[in-house]
Copies of this chain bind each other. A is one copy, B any other.
Amino acid sequence: MTFGKHVREHREILKSRDRRFSVRQVARRIGVEPAYLSKIERGDVAPPSEAKTRALARELGEDPDVLLAMAGKVSSDLQEIIRKRPRLFAELIRQLKSAPDHAILHIARDVRDGDW
């Protein structure tokens, strides 16, 4: 599923229940021209900037990290965390490349619970 199709699909679902989710109105709320959002949804142009993608996620009630990923981006706050300790994070992330989901989830939970 491409970024555009995904956005269009979700927006259409919301629109079917609330007509404030038209291209024009959503565009207005996220701060872009309607024609631009239209082109984005049809894949006519690349996904928008991180800021606009975040606004769109908020508007559609979606996870910004997921939408950013679909846009081919990684959140700038995550990048900053990695850049501060590149060796440590690079190694860890590459180690986790093929780890099962539950392992990653488990580690995150342990860290959150202060098991380190």
Contacts and interface: CB of A to CB of B under 8 A. Distances in A.
Interface string A86-98: 1111111111110
Q: This chain: how many copies in the complex? A: 2
Interface string A52-78: 000000000001011011001111011
Contact of A72 (B83, B89, B93): B83
Nearest to A103: B116
Interface residues of A, number: 41
Interface of A: 63, 65-66, 68-69, 72-75, 77-79, 81-97, 99-101, 103-108, 111-112, 116
A36 B25 CA distance: 47
A83 B69 contact: yes
A114 to B, nearest CB: 10
